[in-house]
Structure formats: C-alpha cells, structure tokens
Amino acid sequence: MLSVSDKTNIAAFAKQLTSLDIEIISTGGTSQALREANVPHRQVDELTQLPSMLDGRVKTLHPRVHGGILGKRDVHTEEAAKYQIDWIDLVVVNFYPFSKAVTPDMPWDEVVEYIDIGGPTMVRAAAKNFAWVGVVTDPEDYAQVVTEIRDMGGLTASFRQQLAEKAFGLTSHYDAMIHRCFMQKEKGERAYPDTLNLRLQKKSELRYGENPHQKACAYQFDHGNAGVFAAEQYQGKPLSYNNMLDAEAAWTCAQEFSQPACVIVKHANPCGVSVAENIDLAWQHALEADPVSAFGGVIALNRPCTVKIAEAVANIFMEVMLAPAYSAEALEILAKKPNLRLLVMPEHKVAEWEYKFITGGILMQEKDRQILAPDELQIVTRTKPDEDAMNAMLFAWRVVKHIKSNGILIANHKSTIGIGAGQVSRIDAVDIAVRKAGDNIRGAVVASDAFFPFRDGIDRLAGTGIRAIIQPGGSMRDEEVIAACNEHNIAMVFTGKRCFRH
C-alpha cells in the first residue's frame, strides 16, 4: 500500500518494488504520480469495491485494507479468506503537512481538512502488526527496504521493529501538532498546555559532554529553523557540547541590539559586549573589555564579519565565531585558522519559551524579553542621572540579564568594562566587576540583576568614580541602600523588575 503526501522518490521506489514482483495498491495523489511514471498498480477502490467518498474523507477505512494490514498470518488465514481479505505486507505512508499548511489565522473549517485520518490509521495498524508487516514513513528508508527484500526475500524482524518505532514516533508527533494547534486557537500562543509534547530529532552525536568522560548528543526541535542548530558551518571541527552552549549564549545576547554589536562569551557568560556605529568598533571595544577572559571564547557579531575583524581574530585563539555573513576576504583570512569554527547564522527568530530539565520533569518559562524605556525607571536618589548615564544604564540592563546571577555589570557608554558573574553573594560579584574594570571605571555605570540586600555593595563602589546604578529595588533595606548612594553622590534608578539568570 502506497499513500504518501511527501512524494520524494516514490516513483523510483515503486518501480524497484514492481521489479521484485510486488503488487502495489495506491490512493489518489500517489496513484497519479505512479501513472505518470508508468508504474503498474491497482487503485484502492479496486480493492475495496467502493469509491472515495465524503469529499475524500473515507478512502482506506475498510476491512479489506485494515484486515489485510492487521491480520495475524498464523491465526487469521481462514477468516481472511472467508471475507476475501488479501494480506498487505508493506505499508508506505506519510501524512498531510499539517504544520506547514495550517496558519494561526486559518478558520476551523479549513484547519480540520488538513487532519489526516486514513494515513495515521494505516500507519498505526501496520506498526502494531510489525511481526508481519513493514511500515515505511520516511523516504530515507526506501533504499534499505529494497535491499532487504532483494537480498533476503523480505524485511528482517529487527528492521520491521525499527520501522514500527519510527512510525509510532511520527503518529505521536502528528497528534501533538494538532493538539498544539487546538490549544493555541483556544487559549493563545503563550498558553501553558496541560500536556506538553516535545518532538525532537537527533541532530548529531557529540564528541563528549561538558567533560570527556560524559557522553552527549544534540537533538533539534522538529520545527527548529533558528539559532545554532540552523547555522551553516564553514570550517572547523564539529561543535562540542560546551561550544553549543556558549554559542547560544553569545548569539542570544547579540540579538538584543539593532545597532552593530559584538558579544564575546566564555563559559556561558558574556565577558565583553559592545554596540557601536560600526561592527569593527563594536568588536574592538568588546575585546578590550576583558581580553584575558576572551582567550578561547566565542564571538558573536550581529553584522557581517569584516576583513579587519578577521585579521584580528586570526591572531588570537578563539573557539567559535558566529555572524550573519562573512566577506570573501574575511573567509580567506580565517581559513588560516582551520580549528576555528565559523557559523553563518540564519535570521534570528525569538523563541517564546525556554525549557530546563530537572530530575523527574521539565521547567518551562517565557523568554525574558523585557526592554526598558527611560520613563519606566524610577529615580530614587537626590543625584539625577543625565541622559548619557541613562542610556548607559539601559544598555547595561539589556546585557546583565544574559549574565549568570548573582550578576553585576559595569559599563561605560555602550560597552561593558567589568562583569562579575555567577557569585553566591552580591558583594563578591561587585568586587570582581570592580577589579575587572580597573582604571576604566571612572564615569561608568553599574547594573545589578537583583536588588542590593545591604549597603555594602554601594560602599564598595564609593570612590571608584561610578556615577549611576540601575537595579530592580524591592529590598527590605532599600532606604539604607538609597542613603548610601546619596552619601556617595551616586545616582540610582529602580526598574521594578528583576532579571535573574540561573
């Protein structure tokens, strides 16, 4: 039985089957493709003795089809003969492209016409009866099917079981897509489903995980067409587990900005971020922010890589570079660093959700896409930030949400100059950021991903030349912290929003 929506190589496959003396039964669209290729076959209505009916909703839902698929060859032979049911030993079916065809604004009466009934029913039946029946849902399997039939006289039991496993994976995914469509139409795109179905395909086996003794593999969402998984790699070894995590962190941060931006990441934390009038300057300032930490890091550019950047990168050690494009000259220069992984990134699509696995389950949350405007900030100190300080704080806030908490970020104009990330106390994060900023700290601003629980962080910043602080506020000791800022003539604004990243 051949009934496919994806007709890739179906005619060639059918010709190979007929050359092996296999009789083919087919349905409407597939039958047309076989006729055009001059492949002999019977149409399904010849088998059922009934026409396609109810606008095509009923074609294969018939005992002569499903009996032929489901019958046990060692038990049901006499009953099958009584009802003139011939065995169907191979079912080749894939479904209407529901996810590609259905749009969010499509009316229900059109949506339901893309819900395949006959196809999934035949696939489930054949997969259930894999002891006797082969079920093929992926054109990639056509070659092995032909090889086993030709060389062994039929499909091996192990291969039939593999095909059944893949088939049930397809039907579960298909039903999950329809379920999600119903849920979104009823509750909206940002709804939390009562049942969460995640379908991922194995993308690649990785050399190892976070450490060499850990095995690892990468899986991609079926609908995944963005981010690192969708990138084109020009050169370098395959991405490792850690490479992928760092590349994701760098690219996500770079996409915060519409201006030319460069982000350098080390161990999943930005160590240098800058926006500038051109990408060359953004790169230069990002590297200058912390050149020691940048060694062996990951670079993300939100503009094409230039010759100037390529020449600079060719003289230092970096693991991965991401950009929307590379000039021909830049590629020629970077080719001299064959171990540097170069990724061409697709157009960025912001994900609605992010997931984290924990023992026994999964956590799901909305992406933190907050972007603050100046009029959303509450100035709480006697000293008022000027426009330049306000812009620097808004820049710092957009970056600090990409830093592991507790996070403190020091920025000057549109570049980071000191980052304290992932500390268990805020004062430790302040100490690290101040030390990294060094002599560049005078006139800079500070962003804190959560409130200051004590005034010690402010006192540590006193005398450094910090002129303004942006933080959520909300501590029991806010008044104490504000008083410290007033004592040291530091402006402070509250966002009213936190931006933890665990």
Q: Is 128 a catalytic residue?
A: yes
- CA dist list (Å): 194 to 177, 182, 187, 360, 385: 14, 12, 11, 17, 47
Catalytic residue (choose from 15, 76, 128, 497): 128
Compute the distance between CA of residue 121 and CA of residue 127 in angstroms, rounded to an integer: 10
Indicate whether 197 belongs to any domain: no
402 classed as catalytic: no
Report yes or no on 353 lying in a domain.
no
Same domain assignment for residues 84 and 170: yes
Same-domain pairing of 132 and 281: no
Is there a domain that residue 212 lies in?
no
Residues whose CB falls within 8 Å of the CB of residue 418, separated by 6 or more in sequence, listed in order? 289, 290, 409, 410, 432, 433, 434, 435, 436, 437, 438, 440, 441, 444
The residue from 76, 166, 185, 267 that is catalytic is: 267
Rounded Cα distance between 145 and 118, Å, is 23
Same domain assignment for residues 107 and 235: no
Q: What is the pLDDT of residue 191?
A: 63
Residue carrying structure tokens 């201006």: 259
Residues 251 and 154 in one domain: no
CATH number, residue 276: 3.40.140.20
Say which DSSP state 419 is in. E
Residues spanned by the domain of 454: 374-494
Domain finish residue from 344, 362, 390: 344
**Residue where the block lists tokens 């050690």:** 317
Same domain, 278 and 398: no
- Mean pLDDT, 10 residues at a time, over the chain (502 residues)? 88 92 88 89 84 79 88 88 90 82 76 81 93 93 92 91 92 83 68 74 89 92 78 91 95 95 96 97 96 96 96 95 96 94 86 85 87 93 96 96 96 95 95 95 96 96 96 96 97 95 90
* 380, 334: one domain: no
Angle, nearest 10°, between helix axes 10-19 and 142-152?
A: 0
Q: Can you give the pTM of this predicted structure?
A: 0.77
Angle at Cα 168 formed by Cα 166 and Cα 173, nearest 5°? 95
Same domain, residue pair 26 and 165: yes
Q: What is the pLDDT of residue 190?
A: 57
Using CA atoms, how far residue 465 sits from 77, 165, 357, 435, 441, in Å, is: 90, 64, 42, 13, 6
CATH no. for residue 132? 3.40.50.1380
In a shared domain, residues 307 and 420: no
Q: Are residues 165 and 290 in the same domain?
A: no
Looking at 158, 187, 216, which one is the last position of a domain?
A: 187
Cα–Cα distance measured from residue 339 to residue 358, given in angstroms and rounded to the nearest whole number: 34
Three-state helix/strand/coil letters over 314-336: CCCCCCEEEECCECHHHHHHHCC
Amino acid at 70: L
Q: Is residue 210 part of a domain?
A: no
> Is 386 contained in some domain?
yes
Q: Annotate 351-407 with DSSP letters as a single string.
A: -SEEEEEETTEEEEEE-------GGG-EE-SSSPP-HHHHHHHHHHHHHHTTSPSS-
Query: Does 198 fall in a domain?
Result: no
Whether residues 83 and 179 share a domain: the answer is yes
d(C-alpha 346, C-alpha 230), whole Å: 7
DSSP conformation class of 500: -
Using DSSP, state whether 147 is helix, strand or coil: helix
Supply the pLDDT for residue 182.
Answer: 79
Same domain, 258 and 308: yes
Same domain, 58 and 128: yes
Q: What is the DSSP track for 256-294?
A: T-SS-EEEEEETTEEEEEEE-SSHHHHHHHHHHH-HHHH
Task: Kindly write down the DSSP assignment for every residue of 165-227, as one continuous string.
Answer: HHHHHHHHHHHHHHHHHHHHHHH-TTPPPSS----EEEEEEES-SSSTTS-EEEEEETT--ST
Domains contained in the chain, number: 3
Instruction: Give a yes or no: residue 153 inside a domain.
Output: yes
Instruction: Give a yes or no: residue 418 inside a domain.
Output: yes
